[in-house]
Each structure stands twice: as structure tokens, then as C-alpha cells.
Amino acid sequence: MALDPDFLLASAPTETRQQLTPEAVILYALGVGASELPFVYEDGLKALPTIPVVLAYPGFVWQRPEYGVDWRRVLHGETSVELHAPLPVSGEVIGRSKFGPIFDKGADKGAIVYTTRTIHTADGVHVATVRNASFLRGDGGFGGTAEGQPRPHAIPDRPADLEHSIATADNQALIYRLSGDFNPLHADPAVAEAAGFPRPILHGLATFGVAGRAVIAALCGNEPERLKRIDVRFSSPVFPGETIRTEIWHEGEGRAAFRARVVERDVIVLNNGYVEFA
């Protein structure tokens, strides 16, 4: 069965409900390597501003046979998180996810599928919007177009204004997956090898969370409520145990560009990053 973009676009929004607990908020923070007490201790607990990526998360949907996707070759392409209200640390959250748009880069280049998830509390407060782009490396050539894909945010052509490095743990992916992304690519060496990697890679969204920690430390005084938006493109995988250095450029009042690289291999792993903050 091949990818059917019309089927995806016509699908009804997927509604996912989650009973959020302080334990889940802490587990997410540990999954992105946090050790600062406000993020990992229930007394005065604060949610990291990147946690919406796992709130009311519908799971790794590409393994569903009705989608016709070669799920072993799926990579995370882009993520954007917009924060509309203070993030809760407990209570029910409701996500509604919808596919689209979809871009065909060609039979030998794959396809890009965007998904938008709105997240509300049980009493109707819209707390966040998450937009993801999945790179379906084995599913291009279905007759669609590559035109119209959103343009990436440009990185300034000058040295970074700020840098912040964070080491990841050897078991980082094994912790992060407990927040809901059980793609075996991040745990099973055989699956990783079949996908062309020498060993399991870190979730792209875990790398995103590490860079988010760097951004709030460098720009927001580690006050998570000050971050209003964070966008990024994923350019290369991280292996657990590597060090991620986030490079940041000021772009005016309350705005900045960023990217992240693995120090040990000098490889850019996140690119075209953009943040808005108070």
C-alpha cells in the first residue's frame, strides 16, 4: 500500500485526551536532560515551554497500516510551538491533530507531511499549538507538488551573540521515549541499522527540548513562561551521549534566531531556529 495524500487530508481530526500529572511533567524534563529544581520537583513545579510536543500526543502514527507509509524511514523534519496561555502541570489536556499540507519532493527524495495539533485544557483554554513536519523518505513520487512549502527562517551571516552547551546522557532516548514516542528507531539497534544508522538516535523532539532549555537559559533567565514561540528544522540526528551547543543571534526586541550543533562531530543538528520571548 502506497501513501495516499488525499486519504490523509480527508481524515477527521484525531482527538487525544491526556490526564496530565506532575510526574509526567517531571518525566518530560528528565527526558530532555533537565536537572534544575523548578522543572523536576513537584513543589513549585513549572512546565518546560517545549512540553506541548508531548501533550495529548497521538503517538507515532506512521506505523498505522492504513497510512501506507514506510515508517522505518520517517524522520522528524520541522517543529513549531506557539504558547497562548500558561502551561498546566496537572489536569486534563485535549489535543486535536489534523494532516496538511503535504508536499511531494519526488520518488527519490521523499514527501513532507505537516500536522497541526491544538491543545486545550478541559475548560476550553487554548494553551498551545504544535506544528510538525514529517519527512517520509520512502514515500515521495505520488504525483504531488513540492511548491509552496514554508520557507525556513534565515540564520544571520555573522558570529553568534550567545552560545549554550548541554551534554546528553547515554540513555537520553530511553528516558525521553517514556513521554509517549515509542518509535523503536530510538531504542532498538536492529531497527536503527535497518534505517541506515549505526545505532539508535535521539528523538528529534528530545534534541528540540535540549535546545529549548538552552534558549530559555540564555534569553529568558530560565523563566519558562517568557517563551512565546519556538520553531526549528531538524537537519541531522544526534546520538545519545553527544553534546549539543546552541548558537543564538539577537534579532530585535523579543526575537532571536538559533541553531544547534553536535560538538563532538561539529555537525549542525537543528537549523533555521526562531524564537519569540517576553
The phi, psi pair for 141, rounded to 5°, reads 85, 25
**Which residues are bridge partners to 134 per DSSP?**
76, 113
Q: Which of 186, 203, 212, 244 is the catalytic position?
A: 186
Active site residue 181: yes
Active site residue 59: no
Count of CB atoms situated within 10 Å of the CB of 123: 7
Active site residue 201: yes
Which helix H or strand E contains 120, and what residues bound it? strand 111-121
| 111, 23 Cβ separation under 8 angstroms | no
- 170: three-class secondary structure by DSSP: coil
Cα torsion at 218, 221, 224, 229 (round to 10°)?
Answer: -50
Q: Which residues of 20-32 are buried (b: 16+ CB within 10 A; e: fewer)?
A: beeebbbbbbbbb
Q: Which of 51, 201, 230, 248 is the catalytic position?
A: 201
Write the CB contacts of 141 (distance below 8 Å, at least 6 apart in sequence).
104, 106, 107, 108
Give the dihedral sign, CA 197/198/200/203: negative
Grid coordinates in use for 52?
506541548
Q: Which of 51, 181, 231, 273 is the catalytic position?
A: 181
Active site residue 266: no
Alpha-carbon distances, residue 224 vs 66, 168, 246, 251 (angstroms): 39, 20, 17, 20
CA separation for the pair 189, 199 (Å, rounded): 5
| 129, 216 Cβ separation under 8 angstroms | no
What residues are annotated to the active site?
181, 186, 201, 204
